[in-house]
């Protein structure tokens, strides 16, 4: 049997197809009950789409089924349907499993998942802190205060606490600063954990021998790339993180355009920052010339 499982936040639509391509069962199942369904069809092949919550579902199903995780973007490009409903998507997944044509997505190991949780968690906290720093700037601007204040520094927050704003904006400012202080503490706690994790892994230790790459950058590269052995070479890695130029060829003409920007924008941004740091601090003449030429 072949199972196509269209996963949502709380439920999944399942289509079961036999060897002849006939749908023998269609059912909507609560995600909490997927284990029972998997046991009924133990040994069958199944496909799910790589959604935001697929890790736990993949692990649950894999105890009984041969599960392939489908790459969402590639799936949309090759799926043989112009309709988008849960039932249609589930049947299409089942059909592709039967034909062995599922565009497979990488499923990270537990170790990689843990690293991703750490670096993505830090990024989320940093983004929230920046959001509140921008709120502080907006509040100051509304009251005609144009000093170059940095709410993310201790000195900047001390300056802001001394400001005399009218009620209720003084309370709002105090609340924003409290949130920034709390987030800063939490970011520091996570950074300590990230430093410990990056220092314990052979892969990240090797990455940190590269000028411009520190604990957070190294663990992010490791977490987002996953097991490096799944790539055939350096060009595949460059393409995976979208740092390869888009190439257009026509006749004798070949044009290298902007970066493809596929894959992890998180890694791409960090690598660009690391390159700037390396070029301007490591005093490597060859690297500097190469950078300037590019």
Q: What is the pLDDT of residues 9-63, one digit of tens each?
A: 889 899 999 998 999 999 999 988 999 999 999 999 999 988 777 888 899 999 9
Question: 219: left (phi > 0), else alpha (psi -120 to 50), else beta?
Answer: alpha
pLDDT band, very low/low/confident/very high, at 126 (cuts 50, 70, 90): very high
pLDDT of residue 67: 94
Q: What is the pLDDT of residues 67-112, one digit of tens each?
A: 999 987 777 655 555 567 889 889 999 999 999 988 888 899 999 9
CB 179 within 8 A of CB 135: no
Phi and psi of 218, rounded to 5°? -65, -45
Phi and psi of 178, rounded to 5°? -65, -40
3-state SS, residue 6: strand
Q: What is the pLDDT of residues 139-155, one digit of tens each?
A: 999 999 888 899 999 99
Q: Of 86 and 135, which is predicted with more confidence?
A: 135
Helix (H) or strand (E) holding 2: strand 2-7
| Residue 108 CB neighbours (<10 A) | 16
Handedness of CA 138, 139, 145, 148 (dihedral sign): negative
- Answer yes or no: is pLDDT of 163 > 80: yes
Could you identify the residue written with the tokens 């289509």? 15
């Amino acid at each position: 049997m072949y199972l196509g499982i269209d996963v949502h936040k709380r439920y999944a639509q399942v289509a079961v197809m036999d060897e002849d391509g006939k749908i023998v069962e269609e059912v909507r199942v609560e995600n909490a009950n997927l284990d029972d369904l998997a046991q009924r069809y133990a040994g069958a092949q199944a496909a799910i789409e790589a959604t935001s919550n697929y890790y736990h579902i993949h692990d649950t199903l894999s105890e009984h089924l041969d599960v392939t995780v489908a790459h969402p973007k590639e799936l949309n490009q090759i799926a043989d349907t112009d309709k988008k409903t849960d039932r249609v998507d589930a049947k299409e997944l089942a059909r592709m499993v039967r034909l062995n044509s599922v565009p497979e997505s990488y499923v990270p190991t537990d170790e990689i998942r843990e690293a991703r949780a750490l670096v993505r968690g830090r990024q989320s906290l940093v983004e929230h802190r920046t959001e509140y720093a921008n709120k502080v700037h907006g509040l100051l601007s509304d009251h005609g205060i144009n000093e170059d204040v940095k709410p993310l520094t201790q000195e900047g927050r001390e300056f802001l606490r001394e400001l005399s704003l009218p009620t209720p904006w003084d309370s709002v400012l105090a609340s924003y600063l409290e949130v920034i202080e709390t987030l800063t503490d939490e970011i520091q706690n996570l950074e300590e954990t990230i430093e410990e994790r990056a220092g314990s892994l052979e892969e990240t230790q090797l990455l940190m021998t590269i000028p411009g790459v520190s604990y957070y950058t190294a663990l992010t590269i490791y977490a987002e790339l996953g097991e490096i052995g799944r790539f055939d070479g350096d060009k595949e890695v460059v393409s995976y993180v979208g740092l390869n130029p888009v190439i257009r060829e026509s006749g004798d003409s070949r044009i290298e355009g902007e970066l493809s920007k596929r894959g992890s924008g998180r890694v791409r941004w960090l690598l660009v920052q690391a390159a700037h740091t390396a070029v301007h601090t490591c005093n490597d003449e060859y690297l500097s010339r190469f950078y300037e030429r590019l």
